[in-house]
Amino acid sequence: MKRKLVSIVTAVLVCLAAAPGTAHAADAASKLHAIGLFQGVGVRAGAPPVFDLYRAPTRAEAVTMLVRMLGKESEAQSGEWETPFDDVADWAKPYVGYAYANGLTSGIGEHVFGGNHMVTASHYITFVLRALGYDSSSDFIWNESHLKALELGMISSYDVLDMTGRPFLRNDLVYLSYQGLKLPSKDSDDRLIDKLIDDGSLIASDKTLNILGNRNSYPGNSVNYGSAVQYGEYVYFLIGNDSAIYRIKERDLMTGSLSAKEYVLLGQYNDLSLASGKLYFSGKGNCYYTYDLAGGVSKLITTDEAAYANVIGDTIYYKNYSDGGKLYKINTDGSNKIKLTDCEVGAVNAFDDYVYFMNKDDLFKAYRISVNGGTPTKIHDDPAWRLNVADGVIYCADLDPYGSLYRMNVDGSNKVKLYTASKAIDLVLYHNGYIYFTSGGNELSRLNVATKAVKSMAITGSWPTSLAYINNAIVMTTASEVFFYRF
């Protein structure tokens, strides 16, 4: 049965998400195991590894995971370490020895490490923050480490409420480790996973990149005219006819406490993105701006009317309506503006060394061009409506007769039909094994890419203009409303 979404202006339809300790942690455990960062506690013939996710982790297990996240497991195992502790299990001695020698952990007594003692959420978040380069003596307070994790976007306010309301479990340890690997290290644009690849601790294989994404592919870029992003405990969103960018704590959004929403900026805004603690958006006069969330300062980047903006590092790739919809790039400080194409583009996606787009001058077919410029290359002869590049794969719809959903490799090979729609498809968004799409002007559905099963999620009263995925929820906007669907 289809569900009608309720406007955020009046109420919120909420289905509480599974906590990190359920399907999300199991998925994270499998992914970390596949790249050698999580070993589990045993194996069964013909079955997945035994992860024992619903047991409380020990201090020894937590330190072991920390050493692996730092990419130092080989160094720990090959070293000879001296510690004052006489209670460390043989298997844990290399990890505890390395961590103690490098100031990452200490004991609970003069000669007692306490390896079998349980850890808390604050303890393990502190370990992950240290792996990211943060110092508990200057960057955060260890027993309030969740505040720093919220600030960095490692966890949500819902995660905090969940983890602090019950014993800390191995599923939480796995979830936090997985989240931490996807964050940039302190004073760096490179994520922790990138650092492990660069120093040789991990191999940048297709498996690694498909599990944790690519360093040049960031969430929050406006594939479908962005409307909502999350930074720390806040969700930032815009409603076009309200002429404002709002923010609301995720907890309040989930519980329907809409009076808690706050104005961040007043004015006509579109195309909202987030990168490195800054909002990027089209604003007054259709010019493109940035807003520093820490400093509260807006800055004009370009007077171009920009859309489909992808903010990657210090470069923005965008469709320039001020020049017939051609593809441009510009530095985030407004310098070095360069036109990349002479054709009108749509659905701009920057990924790896290329920018992918629909060529509107060639019947919406998929093209790509080097981020450094050059000649655009056609990827496939079929239309690629609302193409969305994720995990090294293109997901898109065609236009005949109503629309079918496809996937293909980024070079155009191995195109596979996933679903044939009975109504015209408009927005397409891929995330973590699912394609979320709108059709018929008012219906939101979800396609399981592996099974090809389709579930109708909701029907709205007006035409959707954008989709965003935020912490296990879909945020969908129209010109006058924002809808929030948690599943």
pLDDT at site 68: 86
Instruction: Give residues with Cβ within 8 angstroms of 134, minimum separation 6.
Output: 140, 148, 186
| Residue owning tokens 């470069």 | 315
| Fold of the 228-486 domain | Neuraminidase (2.120.10)
Contact 416, 406 (CB under 8 A): yes
**Residue range 246-273, pLDDT digits in tens:** 888 876 766 656 667 888 887 767 788 8
Q: Would you list the domain boundaries of the chain? A: 23-212, 228-486
Whether the bond between 49 and the residue before it is cis, its omega within 30 degrees of 0, is no
Would you list the DSSP string of 301-317?
A: EESS-EEEEEEETTEEE
Report the run of H or E that residue 28 belongs to, with start and end: helix 23-34
Of 359, 417, 407, 402, which Cα lies nearest the Cα of 383? 359
- CA–CA distance, 140 with 62 (Å, rounded to integer): 19
CA-to-CA separations, 174 to 19, 22, 40, 238, 341, in angstroms, rounded: 13, 11, 10, 34, 44
pTM above 0.85, yes or no: no
- Residue 248: name the closest of 413, 91, 473, 48 by CA: 473
- What's the confidence (pLDDT) of residue 110? 86
Burial (0-12, 13-18, 19+ Cβ within 10 Å), 222: buried
* SS3 of residue 342 by DSSP: strand
Strand duo 244-249 + 262-266: pairing: antiparallel
Give the span between the Cα atoms of 367 and 379, in whole angstroms. Answer: 5
Residues of the chain with pLDDT under 50: 1-23, 206-224
| Three-class SS state of 217 | coil
DSSP string, 29-57: HHHHHHTTS---SEEETTEEEE--TTSPP
Q: What DSSP character marks residue 6?
A: P
> Can you tell me whether residue 63 is helix, strand or coil?
helix
